[in-house]
Chains A and B, each alone.
Chain A
Amino acid sequence: MPNKRIVITGLGIISPNGIGVDDFSRAVFNGESGIKPITLFDTADFKAKTAGEVINFEPAKFLGDKGLRVLDRSTKLLNSAARLALDDAGLDITEENSRETGVVIGTNLGSLKSISDYDREAILEGPRYVNPALFPNTVVNAPASQVSIRFNIKGFNVTISTGFTSGLESINYALNAIRLGRAKTVLAGAVEELCIQTFIGFYKLGCLAGTKNNSIELSCPFDKRRNGLVFGEGSCVLVLEDLDSALYRNAKIYAEVKAGATAFEPAGLGRYNLNSEGLSRAMDQALKGSGLSSKDIGYISSAANSTVDADLYETKSIKNIFKDYAKKVKISALKSMLGESFSASASFQVASAALAIKKQIIPPTINYQDKDFDCDLDFVLGDGCEENIDNCLVNAFGPFGENAGLIISKFK
């Protein structure tokens, strides 16, 4: 593949701790949590009551009043993030560049509520009386498709559903598409919405924090008290662009995306396999693809989500690859502030890593109090820390065997 350089030129963020780059950045670097009591549905019947919910979200502000009535929350979150990303990149979609622009979005649970609502109407009112305009929302690629429709983007339109790694895989797809000459610019991102359907699913599987006896409901990655994840939601869209195109447009450049890698190692269903080498392989391949060694990495944006085995698995994997340097490399877990937003998590991580590289500051891991001696790495706490960051490794993985790593670097 021709070795084209690819840069991030725009960020669109609709997150639990801020909407837009400025709000998100201020919150993340100040260590402000976006996790609060859930308002989207009643939690009276559950032990878990908090989530990283996007509040004060007014889609009409980004998308106008018309045509929102039949779009579901995922679609509105994603389209709003896409609008912000295009604006941030200063990118106008025109007849000239439309076919050279692609859209690739990670989402897994995005259509669950729409399916449930659609079925509910059919059962309560009779199948004849369902609203046909709500049917398109029930398919998983509806949010991504609406981005292309709304912004008149005529290049490829792809939805990626690979579990917890979808946010990184969408960026990987974009890298490949640009390198193969299929696009000059790609909107790569992810979206998940918080709804009672997915909340109940994760709750009943026993994944949520604060649901076991005497456990604390807190997203505290790597902390001894961790006992499960706190749910999150939101959307993040990055504008990835061929460097020549970015320079030609005189676009601002946040960071360069070097290489991504994925590795699948089937584990027990829904259980982290602590002996799996999947994440190690993904990190190793991402480093090799970038032509870097582990010592070149100044910061790891961890995927740790406060689940006992997840955080341990990532610690072990980092030790595997980073060896002696493992305890020196700075690590931070964004999910301590945002919760676990599934597909969207990794996209938020990449956005915050791009901002970290731009500012040369590493955001903190919050809620860290009690040391777990099995997770003995150098976590950035408090107010974050200033650091020379040339290269950042972003990790993503889930309990089903999916693993991914991505390297982004200071643009030089």
Chain B
Amino acid sequence: MQDIDNEIRNLVAEIIEKDPSEVGGEARFIEDLGVDSMMALEILAALEKKYKIAIPEDKLAEFTTLNSIIKVAKQYIAASQTNA
């Protein structure tokens, strides 16, 4: 699962235009990293595309740190693997 953590860190870093090393697990997106709502939507769409999953849009509210995103993503990745 460490691979997925890194993949998501790189994916998020690319969208928010930061070096992956700058994106700490608990760094606050809006306050610390300057993430805006369009970037959050982009992250959601990119996760869905990469892992072929569907994340409900109300989960966007939980996209506040890298760790919280990884948690949400893993939940839906696991669900999709169970269904498959």
Contacts and interface: CB of A to CB of B under 8 A. Distances in A.
Interface stretch (A49-57, A64-72, A193-201, A338-346): A64-72
A94 B49 CA distance: 42
Contact of B42 (A66, A67, A128, A133): A133
B45 interface: yes
A129 B48 contact: yes
Tell which of A67, A69, A133 has the most Cβ of chain B within 10 Å: A133
Interface string A69-83: 110000000000000
Sort chain A's interface into a size bin: 10 to 19
A131 B49 CA distance: 9
B49 to A, nearest CB: 4
B41 A133 contact: yes
B45 A132 contact: yes
B61 to A, nearest CB: 17
Interface string B41-66: 11001101100001000000000000
Nearest to A65: B17
B39 interface: yes
B49 A125 contact: yes
B17 A128 contact: no
B17 A69 contact: yes
B17 A130 contact: no
B41 A67 contact: no
B45 A129 contact: yes
A260 to B, nearest CB: 38
A70 B48 CA distance: 18
A129 B41 CA distance: 11
Contacts of B39: 133
Interface residues of B, number: 12
A117 to B, nearest CB: 15
Given A65-B17, A66-B17, A67-B17, A128 B54 contact: yes
- The majority secondary structure among interface residues of chain B is helix
Interface string B20-55: 000000000000000000110110011011000010
B38 A132 contact: yes
B64 to A, nearest CB: 19
Contacts of A67: 17
A362 B19 CA distance: 51
B20 to A, nearest CB: 15
Contacts of B41: 132-133
Contacts of A125: 49
A347 B48 CA distance: 43
Interface string A106-143: 00000000000000000001001111110000000000
Contacts of A128: 48, 54
Contacts of A131: 42, 45-46, 49
Contacts of B42: 70, 131-133
A52 B45 CA distance: 37
A407 to B, nearest CB: 44
A67 B15 CA distance: 10
A133 B45 CA distance: 9
Interface of A: 65-67, 69-70, 125, 128-133
Interface of B: 14-15, 17, 38-39, 41-42, 45-46, 48-49, 54
6 contacts: A67-B17, A69-B15, A69-B17, A129-B49, A130-B45, A133-B41
Given A67-B17, A125-B49, A131-B46, 19 more contacts: A65-B17, A66-B17, A69-B15, A69-B17, A70-B42, A128-B48, A128-B54, A129-B45, A129-B49, A130-B45, A131-B42, A131-B45, A131-B49, A132-B38, A132-B41, A132-B42, A132-B45, A133-B41, A133-B42
